[in-house]
């Protein structure tokens, strides 16, 4: 896979004050090449780069894959964030294979963070030094990107035996959204960030969705991207490539038990341009409402037993709130019960005035309470 130009995630930003939130312009895109790095987080393991050609002939260990990824003979191709690969083995280590120059991954061993791999490129990584025992390993993609990448999988060196992967949780929660769902710049306390700071400060696994899943003992799937809207992306950018068109066309399996949709911030946050298809804010709101109803109906058809929760980021003005209220009412009248969860004002201490880690904790708790109430957990 060729090295690709990093497209900096489009920030949910403005050049003026809106609903009490002051924002900065999106950071300048990064330029490649940038070197791969391996940050080891524990003394219990050693990680060493290895040529991909030395890893790929080894036997591959079958993992449990959670998230939006397409498997083939070379591994798993992925674009959406938060994909997780989980496996079990017996031995002191194993080999990992990547073909990805744009993303970050965290490696967990036996439930504890072991390393963060950044922009690994087309290469293998030898993981060694563990006690000779049975081990669980998880690789989770903690960054986002707009170009596809590949995780080649886990490979068994001599002396390591593969075990059946851990079972999936009986509950899967799907999170559909934009940069607020992704966790854009959520691990720093600074509204002013460079593109590289945003990249390194974004940790999907510490955003509200994975926090909800962890607290409820569920798995999570994330279909989210910074700057994306339902019918209109941030500031009218990239028309025609909104969530309504980019959500995977093929049915995503397994079916989720809960679907959380947090869209609309990018649709409404920036003023309309003369060349856009909507004549005024009212026509945009009407179009968004119709599209949200249609989008929820599609999700309901694909997963008819799922509880659907709509997140309304009320900080972005009355149009987003009214659109969600009208959509929820229409869906309820048609027999598709939804929960509308209006969100309060946040401190937005993350990069480019995005939700801080404390904000994500607050959103997670509101969602946990709503899910427990609806599912009688």
List pLDDT tens digits, range 286-331. 999 999 999 999 999 999 999 999 999 988 889 999 999 999 999 9
Q: Is 267 helix (H, G, I), strand (E, B) or coil?
A: helix
Q: Name the residue among 211, 324, 328 with its Cα closest to residue 263.
A: 324
What pLDDT shows up at residue 92?
Answer: 97
What burial letters (b/e) apply to 105-137, b meaning 16+ CB within 10 Å?
Answer: bbbbbeeeebbbbbbbbbbbbbbeebeeeebbb
What is the rounded average pLDDT for all residues in the chain? 90
Residue showing tokens 């993609």? 141
At a CB cut-off of 8 Å and minimum separation 6, what does 225 contact? Answer: 9, 80, 81, 144, 146, 178, 179, 182, 243, 246
pLDDT surpasses 60 at 32: no
Q: Average pLDDT of 228-250?
A: 95
- Main-chain phi, psi angles of 180, to 5 degrees: -65, -35
What pLDDT shows up at residue 1?
Answer: 32
Residue pLDDT, tens place only, 340-355: 999 999 999 999 999 9
Task: Categorize the per-residue pLDDT at 41 as very low, low, confident or very high, splitting at 50, 70 and 90.
Answer: very high
Which is more confident, 95 or 31? 95
- Residue 319: Cβ-neighbour burial (10 angstroms; 0-12, 13-18, 19+): middle
β-sheet bridge partners, residue 341: 311
- Main-chain phi, psi angles of 127, to 5 degrees: -105, 120
Which CATH topology does 37-163 take?
Jelly Rolls (2.60.120)
What pLDDT shows up at residue 160?
Answer: 97
* pTM for the whole structure: 0.91
Residue pLDDT, tens place only, 198-225: 999 999 999 999 999 999 999 999 999 9
Is 291 one of the annotated active-site residues of the chain?
no
Task: Categorize the per-residue pLDDT at 161 as very low, low, confident or very high, splitting at 50, 70 and 90.
Answer: very high
- Residue 164: Cβ-neighbour burial (10 angstroms; 0-12, 13-18, 19+): exposed
- The Cα-based distances of 89 to 159, 161, 168, 187 in angstroms read 11, 6, 17, 32
Q: Are 268 and 284 in contact (CB under 8 A)?
A: yes
Which CATH topology does 17-30+169-375 take?
Rossmann fold (3.40.50)
Among 33-42, 60-69, 115-124, 284-293, the minimum mean pLDDT is found in 33-42
What pLDDT shows up at residue 80?
Answer: 97
Q: Average pLDDT of 133-156?
A: 96
What pLDDT shows up at residue 191?
Answer: 86
pLDDT surpasses 60 at 26: no
Which is more confident, 28 or 195? 195
Residue pLDDT, tens place only, 165-211: 999 999 999 999 999 999 999 998 888 999 999 999 999 999 999 99
What pLDDT shows up at residue 34?
Answer: 58
> What residue segments make up the domains of the chain, in order of their start?
17-30+169-375, 37-163
pLDDT surpasses 90 at 29: no
pLDDT surpasses 90 at 70: yes
Phi-psi region of 188 (alpha: psi -120 to 50; beta: other; left: phi over 0): beta
What pLDDT shows up at residue 8?
Answer: 31
What burial letters (b/e) apply to 25-63, b meaning 16+ CB within 10 Å?
Answer: ebbeebeeebebeeebeeeebebeebebeebbebebbeb
What pLDDT shows up at residue 35?
Answer: 63
For residue 175, the 8-state DSSP code is E
What gap in Å lies between CA 117 and CA 107, rounded to an integer? 8
Question: 101, 145, 179, 291: which one is catalytic?
Answer: 179
Q: Are 23 and 353 in contact (CB under 8 A)?
A: yes
Residue showing tokens 């920036």? 270
């Amino acid at each position: 896979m060729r090295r690709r130009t990093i497209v900096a995630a489009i920030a949910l930003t403005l050049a003026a004050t809106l609903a009490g939130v002051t924002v900065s312009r999106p950071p300048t895109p990064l330029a490649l090449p940038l070197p791969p790095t391996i940050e080891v987080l524990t003394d219990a393991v050693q990680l060493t780069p290895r040529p991909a050609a030395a890893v790929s002939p080894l036997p591959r260990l079958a993992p449990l894959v959670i998230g939006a990824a397409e498997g083939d003979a070379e591994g798993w191709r992925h674009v959406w964030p938060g994909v997780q690969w989980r496996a079990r083995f017996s031995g002191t280590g194993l080999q990992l294979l990547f073909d990805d120059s744009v993303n970050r991954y965290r490696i967990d061993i036996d439930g504890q963070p072991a390393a963060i791999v950044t922009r690994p490129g087309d290469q293998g990584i030898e993981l060694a030094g563990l006690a000779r025992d049975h081990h669980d390993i998880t690789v989770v993609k903690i960054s986002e990107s707009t170009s596809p990448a590949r995780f080649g999988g886990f490979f068994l060196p001599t002396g390591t035996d593969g075990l059946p992967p851990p079972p999936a949780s009986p509950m899967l929660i799907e999170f559909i959204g934009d940069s607020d769902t992704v966790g854009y710049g959520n691990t720093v306390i600074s509204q002013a960030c460079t593109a590289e700071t945003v990249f390194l400060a974004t940790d999907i696994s510490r955003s509200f969705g994975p926090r909800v899943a962890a607290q409820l003992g569920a798995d999570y799937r994330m279909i989210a991207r910074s700057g994306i809207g339902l019918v209109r992306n941030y500031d009218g950018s990239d028309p025609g490539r909104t969530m309504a068109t980019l959500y995977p066309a093929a049915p995503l399996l397994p079916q989720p038990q809960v679907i959380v949709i947090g869209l609309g911030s990018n649709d409404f946050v920036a003023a309309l341009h003369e060349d856009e298809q909507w004549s005024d804010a009212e026509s945009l709101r009407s179009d968004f409402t119709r599209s949200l109803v249609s989008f929820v109906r599609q999700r309901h058809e694909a997963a008819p037993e799922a509880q659907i929760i709509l997140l309304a980021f009320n900080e972005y003005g009355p149009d987003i709130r009214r659109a969600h209220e009208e959509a929820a009412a229409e869906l309820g009248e048609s027999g598709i019960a939804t929960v509308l969860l209006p969100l309060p004002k946040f401190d937005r201490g993350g990069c480019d005035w995005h939700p801080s880690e404390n904000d994500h904790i607050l959103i997670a708790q509101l969602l946990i309470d709503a899910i427990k109430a609806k599912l009688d957990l």
